[in-house]
Amino acid sequence: SNISKKAYKILYHPIMYYVDWFISFFLLLLAGIEHPFYELLEPDESKLKIFAAVLESLIIAYFTFDLGLRFFWLGVKRYLRQKITLARLIGVILITIDFILALSIPWYYQHRFLRTCRPILFLTSHLNRNIRNVVNQLLNSIRRILDLYVLYLVFVVIFSLLAYNILGEIDVANYGTFPDSFITMFALSTTVNYPDVMLPALENCLLYFLLFFPFLSFGIYVLTNLLLAIVKDHFSRLEKEKLKQLLEFRRVSLLRAFHLGTQLSASEWDYSLFRRVMLSISKTISEKQCLLMFKVLDRHGNQKLSWKEFKQLSNVMSMRWRRSDLTNINKMWHRMIPIRLLRRVSEYTYVLVSSFIFKFIINLVILTNCALLIIETLVYDTPQQPGSDNGFRYESAFFLPIYFLEFCLQIVGFGPFYYFTHGWHVFDFIILFSSIIASISGYTYIIVLRTFRLLRVLKAKNSFRRIFTIISLSIPKLMRFVISICLAFYVYAILGMCLYAGKLRDCSFNELDLPEYNPDCGEEYDYQKNPPDGLYYLVNFNDILHSFITLFILMIVNNWQVVAKGYIAITGTYSYLFFIFFYLFVVLVITNVTAAFVLDLYDSISTTLGKSFTVRVSLSKKVL
Amino acid sequence: SNISKKAYKILYHPIMYYVDWFISFFLLLLAGIEHPFYELLEPDESKLKIFAAVLESLIIAYFTFDLGLRFFWLGVKRYLRQKITLARLIGVILITIDFILALSIPWYYQHRFLRTCRPILFLTSHLNRNIRNVVNQLLNSIRRILDLYVLYLVFVVIFSLLAYNILGEIDVANYGTFPDSFITMFALSTTVNYPDVMLPALENCLLYFLLFFPFLSFGIYVLTNLLLAIVKDHFSRLEKEKLKQLLEFRRVSLLRAFHLGTQLSASEWDYSLFRRVMLSISKTISEKQCLLMFKVLDRHGNQKLSWKEFKQLSNVMSMRWRRSDLTNINKMWHRMIPIRLLRRVSEYTYVLVSSFIFKFIINLVILTNCALLIIETLVYDTPQQPGSDNGFRYESAFFLPIYFLEFCLQIVGFGPFYYFTHGWHVFDFIILFSSIIASISGYTYIIVLRTFRLLRVLKAKNSFRRIFTIISLSIPKLMRFVISICLAFYVYAILGMCLYAGKLRDCSFNELDLPEYNPDCGEEYDYQKNPPDGLYYLVNFNDILHSFITLFILMIVNNWQVVAKGYIAITGTYSYLFFIFFYLFVVLVITNVTAAFVLDLYDSISTTLGKSFTVRVSLSKKVL
């Protein structure tokens, strides 16, 4: 119908994708200006309340409008059948209930746990389909390793019973009761309290080591790695299946295309047909590319493509082309210079900057610079104003001109186009100009960034270049993980704020006598008693920023039991559930999925890297 | 020649293998009764000195004798060309020098660092060839990841410079000087000091989190996993190559065997030839097995084996055979009972114990038992004499008879042969009888071992059974790793004892005023100042037992910086090298190689498990 068509056109307009993404993203950001305010925002509290409420109502209005359009487009039946639309509907209903409750009930305003549903709306946004896949994968991984969790918990329970019975009298603090013993052993399985909880037993008798040895070696070296193995197995099987489906789909589409083509002419495709089809498919394919692709596909060299030759099309389309004489782009730059003398200069500069000796000297300068930097910092034993000492001054006076000269020579020799399209040169440029700005403005410690140039020296070795390639190729995929993790953090941060916001404050402030404040949040938190660790009150859920930092600290695992102890002290033993669940369902999953991902990526890249090189060689032979 | 033959016969006698292994093992054990004595041995010091010296001289005499024999067998040229013999020669020379120096120089007697060469002799023993392979693999892995180590250190150096410049004034204790900053950041890359060294900066400004975030996320999630990926890649490639070589070798030998056979008769092997050859090869192959193998190999069913059929021989030879009616062994047991009534009883018992309901009830009993055990321990909140409370008494009075009844029924129903050859039954038996002994003798806490039976309940589920299979299959291979790790520990323990033996003692004993004793071994070590952690003096190198425990603690990584600080306080900053080297070249290698090993094993087992089942099915069809 007409309305349905119009609704479709609005919904699937490219701009709407971005609008939708930004609005769902703003919905997440709202947590930054909602109840557990960041201390700097607190004076404006009442204004912020109104501002946030207005923003939220606008966002809800947008989503209702969007769902209305979808309703017009799809009708009732298909509306409820489409998974994503349904998820969106539920999400909108939940956030609307949340909003209404928050406006009407003051208690709920401070414990808006339904905000945990906001990521649903973010995930259903069309531009986030890749992230949705990753989240799916993460949830699947949890399902797969659930069995191992049971084994893990049984294992911990058995050993906590043993420890309770054997060490209950010797070390009352850690093993005196079964729950204590369980928590000690659970923390021990994450190694965070390791030698500390064993030492009192060892003081009694060295043989008690035999209780800890099997627990730790089995727990850390067998169970953890089995977890990784299962996740990796699942992960690589999933990737393979996806690839298989993709290849199958490609094959079928290519076969259909080939048959459509052969119905028009003979049983094989000639160049004119190929060219016409290619140019009509995509506007980005040039005439030259078309010819190149044809030449590569035509293995027999008979100017015709059989099905066997044609089916390689999708591989050939994804190839990147480069002239076999790589210096060409530089030559073009040289030719562009009008005056002859200057052209000569630039040509000679090119020979200089692309020579081995030049690179060697520059690498030597960088090494010297870094060595001097380290020696300087070693000489000045006491901490000082970094900007005021003359060490860093002579640094910038001597080395900065050298780097600037290198930059100028490279620009003249290579030409700006080549220079600014190559990663390492851009990297150099950024560091050089931040150093220059730093030395002018006085923030001299940015000069330390120059040590990042050490990475460029490492690049000279083949094996390092390989590592850098792998890291740079993995970044886009890793980013999806990071965003998925952030969403999990968001949910947990909201929960944490509902449970603990404002309860944990600096223990040295106990003269303030706040209503909800409990000064007894553990020894580790008390600055007066225990100076080095007394700052744990900073690991709190008092606002969204602190919550994220707290969750990151918990993700790194180390000393999570210290953080947990404080929360137990101010609330109750049940708070351990919050931390144990976070460990089992967020930390373990993230760690293992990331590892599985990097392992898989390394495998696939180390095979592809070899392939692409050989293809490139055979190409240059064929085409030229 | 004659002497050479005799020497060969002595050297390669099976008993000599064991003698050699035991003597090289005793050489390692000697460290237990050598200089840094265990406190219980100290009163006998002078006697032990003489005893150890006599033993060592005897061991050296044996090795000299062994090398002499090898000399007679091989002659000079081949003697020096054989790698293992040469290694042995060098090892013997070194331990002889060590022995002589220890006898003549009193200082050296207390710092016998040449004892680190003893594992060479252990590794060259013939029975340790598998362990030698693993050690080779470990050393290879180190070589492979050396590049990544450089990247890792550069990364730490860059960030310690940044931290020194940015946080040097804010947190003088951790970042005040460059070496401090480096050690803080290095420890941070192992996460052991994580929130503690970030909190003083966060107290100042929340933005400093942006310095720690990239460091930790890149260091832990990217670099560590890349390390694992490289080790795993190397590992699985090595395994594949080995397998390929093995298969190639097998194929060649089989082909040669096949041609030798066909020269005698026709171009194919008939059963009589096959039978003769098989029975002459090995005495363990029975007539029945021979027939079975022939039937499996003979795919065409023409009673002849062509080369295509014959080359599967090595696969068929490694098959394990089982009657298709699995209950047969039980039936044999029933038939063995002479009296008819008893036979009937045993047959009915068999039906009972192999029924689903029986298993279900037993599993329920186990679950109830474990639940009661946990509830009991929850009820008694205060630690108590485990033997005296009546909770555990009623435990053994009620549940022990049930388990004993189960045992009796199973013995009657299945027969003792079947019972004692099945892992899970043996497992049950051990737990049952240790519980009975415990309840008689009064060590009632061994009853807690009964919770291990929970594992049997888990077995009921398929996915758990798979995990148990994988774990049990991986044990023999894992043992080789454990032994290799122990050798690495041995070397490090000797080094540690040379450097630190006797220097670290209980800080509360400072009234003793020992000559080499330095009371200033860090706050963590001082029991008076810091009760919970004051026991770190137990993490010492004062004797070989403590050294192994210390190294294990360092291997678990957590709180290694606390251990290190104590040693720095009593010696000097250079001691960090000892700990950093241990982390880089032992801990990282062990962790990654173990992970790579488990991952690889999981892959290979999860494919083999499926295979073996299908083969078994097709077998039973063919043979019967």
**Mean per-residue pLDDT for B416-420?**
84
Tell me which chain A residue has its CA closest to the CA of residue B193. Answer: A558
**Domain limits, chain A:** 2-124, 132-241, 328-460, 475-623
Cα three-residue angle B148-B154-B159, rounded to 5 degrees: 130
The pLDDT value given to residue A624: 37
Distance, in Å, from the CA atom of B601 to the CA atom of B595, rounded to the nearest integer, reads 10
CB spacing of B157 vs A553 below 8 angstroms: no
The pLDDT value given to residue A444: 59
CB spacing of A448 vs B165 below 8 angstroms: yes
Tell me which chain A residue has its CA closest to the CA of residue B167. Answer: A383
pLDDT in tens, B57-74: 999 999 999 998 888 888
B62 and B96 Cβ atoms separated by less than 8 Å: no
Q: Is A429 helix (H, G, I), strand (E, B) or coil?
A: helix
The answer to whether residue B315 neighbours chain A at the CB level (below 8 Å) is: no
Question: Any idea which fold B328-460 has?
Answer: Four Helix Bundle (Hemerythrin (Met), subunit A) (1.20.120)
Task: List all residues of chain A from 384 to 443 with a beta carbon under 8 Å from chain B.
Answer: 384-386
The pLDDT value given to residue A620: 44
Distance, in Å, from the CA atom of A412 to the CA atom of B352, rounded to the nearest integer, reads 91
SS3 content of chain A, % helix, strand, coil (to 5): 80, 0, 20
Which of these ranges, A370-379, B203-212, B514-523, has the smallest mean pLDDT? B514-523
DSSP annotation of B451 reads G
The pLDDT value given to residue A516: 47
The pLDDT value given to residue B613: 40
Name the stretches of chain A with pLDDT < 50.
Answer: 383, 385-388, 390-391, 511-512, 514-517, 612-624
Distance, in Å, from the CA atom of B485 to the CA atom of B600, rounded to the nearest integer, reads 19
By Cβ distance, the residue of A154, A178, A196 closest to B455 is A154
CB spacing of A532 vs B196 below 8 angstroms: yes
Of the ranges B242-246, B264-268, B553-557, the best mean pLDDT one: B553-557
Q: Is B106 helix (H, G, I), strand (E, B) or coil?
A: helix
pLDDT tier at B387 (50, 70, 90 boundaries)?
A: very low
Which residues are CB-neighbours of B564 under 8 A, at least 6 positions away?
B575, B576, B579
**Mean per-residue pLDDT for B62-90?**
87
Looking at domain A2-124, its CATH class is mainly alpha
- In total, chain A counts a number of residues equal to 624
Per-residue pLDDT at B393 exceeds 90: no
A522 and A566 Cβ atoms separated by less than 8 Å: yes
- CATH architecture of the domain with range B252-317: Orthogonal Bundle (1.10)
The answer to whether residue A607 neighbours chain B at the CB level (below 8 Å) is: no
Per DSSP, helices labelled H in B12-44 are 14-29
Three-state secondary structure of B63-90? HHHHHHHHHHHHHHHHHHHCHHHHHHHH
CB spacing of A448 vs B216 below 8 angstroms: no
Q: Tell me which chain B residues have a C-beta less than 8 angstroms from the C-beta of A546.
A: 206
The pLDDT value given to residue A550: 94
The pLDDT value given to residue B93: 95
A127 and A18 Cβ atoms separated by less than 8 Å: yes
The alpha carbon of residue A568 and the mean position of all alpha carbons in its chain are separated, in whole angstroms, by: 32
> What CA–CA distances, in Å, run from A588 to A220, A221, B223?
12, 15, 18
Compare A378 and B51 and report the one with higher pLDDT: B51
CB spacing of B602 vs A229 below 8 angstroms: yes
The pLDDT value given to residue B388: 46
Alpha-carbon distance A225 to nearest alpha carbon in chain B (angstroms): 5
The pLDDT value given to residue B32: 87
CB spacing of B233 vs A603 below 8 angstroms: yes
The pLDDT value given to residue B516: 47
- pLDDT mean across residues, chain B: 82
By Cβ distance, the residue of B463, B562, B598 closest to A225 is B598
The pLDDT value given to residue A472: 82
Helices A271-281, A287-297: axis angle to 10 degrees equals: 130
Listing DSSP states for A369-403 in one string gives HHHHHHHHHHH--S---TTTSHHHHHHHHHHHHHH
A613 and A287 Cβ atoms separated by less than 8 Å: no
Which of B144, B194, B589 to probe by mutation at the A interface, max A CB count within 10 Å? B194
Per-residue pLDDT at B2 exceeds 70: yes
Other Cβ atoms less than 10 A from the Cβ of A247: the count is: 11
The pLDDT value given to residue B533: 59
Distance, in Å, from the CA atom of A331 to the CA atom of A323, rounded to the nearest integer, reads 12
Alpha-carbon distance A581 to nearest alpha carbon in chain B (angstroms): 20
The answer to whether residue A208 neighbours chain B at the CB level (below 8 Å) is: no
Which of these ranges, A191-200, B5-14, B131-140, B515-524, has the smallest mean pLDDT? B515-524
pLDDT tier at B185 (50, 70, 90 boundaries)?
A: very high
The pLDDT value given to residue A509: 53
Distance, in Å, from the CA atom of B556 to the CA atom of B565, rounded to the nearest integer, reads 17
Of A301, A278, A300, whose CA–CA distance to A289 is shortest? A278
Q: Tell me which chain A residues have a C-beta less than 8 angstroms from the C-beta of B228.
A: 595, 598-599
Which of these ranges, A181-190, B198-207, B612-621, has the smallest mean pLDDT? B612-621
> What CA–CA distances, in Å, run from A140 to A137, A144, B182?
5, 6, 40
pLDDT in tens, B294-323: 888 887 777 888 888 887 787 777 776 665
Distance, in Å, from the CA atom of A564 to the CA atom of B581, rounded to the nearest integer, reads 33
pLDDT in tens, B114-150: 999 999 999 999 899 889 988 988 888 888 888 889 8
CB spacing of B195 vs A563 below 8 angstroms: yes
Other Cβ atoms less than 10 A from the Cβ of A55: the count is: 16
The answer to whether residue B528 neighbours chain A at the CB level (below 8 Å) is: no
Q: Tell me which chain B residues have a C-beta less than 8 angstroms from the C-beta of A385.
A: 169
The pLDDT value given to residue B286: 78
Alpha-carbon distance B260 to nearest alpha carbon in chain A (angstroms): 43
CB spacing of A553 vs B385 below 8 angstroms: no
The pLDDT value given to residue B442: 67
pLDDT tier at B324 (50, 70, 90 boundaries)?
A: low
The pLDDT value given to residue A100: 94
Give yes or no on whether A2-124 and A132-241 have one common fold: no
Per DSSP, helices labelled H in A501-574 are 544-555, 560-570
The pLDDT value given to residue A623: 42
Distance, in Å, from the CA atom of A483 to the CA atom of B49, rounded to the nearest integer, reads 65
The answer to whether residue A557 neighbours chain B at the CB level (below 8 Å) is: yes
B572 and B503 Cβ atoms separated by less than 8 Å: no
Which of B233, B483, B556 to probe by mutation at the A interface, max A CB count within 10 Å? B556
Q: What tokens were used for B175?
A: 């970042």
DSSP annotation of A359 reads H
Alpha-carbon distance B573 to nearest alpha carbon in chain A (angstroms): 14
B132-241: in CATH 1.10.287.70: yes
